[in-house]
Every structure is written in structure tokens, then in C-alpha cells.
Amino acid sequence: MQLEYSIEGGDFSHAGFASSQVKRVLKQLNVDPKLIKRVVVCLYEAEVNVVAHAYSGIIHVLINTNEIVMKLVDKGPGIPDISLAMQKGYSTASDKVREMGFGAGMGLPNIQHNADDFKISSNVGEGTNLEITIKL
């Protein structure tokens, strides 16, 4: 089963739409609530990242009986130093974003912590790709 959502950069008021929809689907599929929680944490953090940093993005969610794979592909400035971005507390978020309660520098580390498999690649000036896998 495949689901697809688009994200618009800067649209914080709709951040969380995809994770909430995916949550609804997983509940219907009788996925363990504890796993749903992890999926929602990962996807929400990843969504907010795209909203906060990129211009636009697409989310693909693949669901089968073994795993849930979430791919986020964005068009944006990209991440120059991924290892730095993976450090807890490191953030390039603007003051405006921080004022809205985002940008604490916990996003990517939190995703990695909750995912069974996590891949990230980025091209500066083009965008960032995430692949988050949660095993069922």
C-alpha cells in the first residue's frame, strides 16, 4: 500500500497533516500502537524539517506487513554537513521558526533514535532525501 503527500515550505499550520493521516491508516490496519507512535514521531519530525527548511517536498509512505518505509524528498537548500545536523541540539533554524516552538535541534537525532533504519543524503542547493524504515 502506498500513500503520498506533498508539503509546502513555511506552511507550519499544516505541518503534521501527513503523520496524522498515516496514523489513521495504521490504526485501521491494526498496527501495534507502540509502533504507530514511533512512525508518527519520525514522520512528524521529518515533515516539520521540510516545512522549516525546504521550499517544498513529497512524502511517500510504503506499507506492507513487514515494514513501513517513509521517503521524504525535498527541494531546498540541502544540508552542508550531515554529521553536524545529526548532533543533538544543533540547529540552523531561524529565530522566527524557534519562536514557533520548533528548531530545537532534536529533529534528525530523534528520527534516527525512533527508526529501525535511517538513511539521509543531501545536495547543497538542491535538496535533502530521507528514508525512514520501521519494522513491524
Partner 1 sequence: MDKRELHHVLKILPEVCIGCSNCMRVCPTHALRISNGKAILYPNRCIDCGECYRVCPVNAIIVEQDDFNIIFEYKRRVALIPAVLLGQFSEDVTTDDIHTVLIQLGFTDVFEVENSADFVGEYINKYLADPDKPKPVISSFCPAIVRLIQVKYPALVDNIMLLKPPLDLSAMYYKKMLMEQGVGEEDIGIFYVTPCAAKIAAVKSPVGEDKSEISGVINMDFIYNKVLKVYKNRDKEYEALNRETACNPKNLMWSLTNGEANFVKAKCLAIDSLDNAMEFLDKVENQEIGDVDFLEIRACDESCAGGVLTTGNRFLTVQRLKSFFNDEKANFDDDKANISICNKYRDYLVGRISVEPIAPRGIDKLDDDMTKAMKKMERINRIMCYLPGIDCGSCGAPTCQTLAEDIVHGRAAISHCIFLQKTMEQIPMLNPSHSFRIMEKIWGKERFQKDCSKAKTYRIRR
Contact residues for partner 1, defined by CB under 8 A: 1, 16, 19-20, 23-25, 27-31, 33-34, 36-37, 40-41, 44, 63, 65, 136
**Cα 134 to chain center, whole Å?**
13
Name the residue nearer to partner 1 (CB basis): 66 or 83: 66
Q: How far is the CB of 135 from partner 1 (least distance, A)?
A: 13
Closest CA to 136 of 79, 87, 68, 62: 68
Q: How far is the CB of 63 from partner 1 (least distance, A)?
A: 7
Instruction: Count the alpha carbons within 13 Å of 45 in the hemisphere toward its beta carbon.
Output: 21
Q: How far is the CB of 121 from partner 1 (least distance, A)?
A: 25
Name the residue nearer to partner 1 (CB basis): 63 or 120: 63
Closest CA to 47 of 17, 24, 27, 4: 17
Cell of 20: 496524522
Name the residue nearer to partner 1 (CB basis): 59 or 63: 63
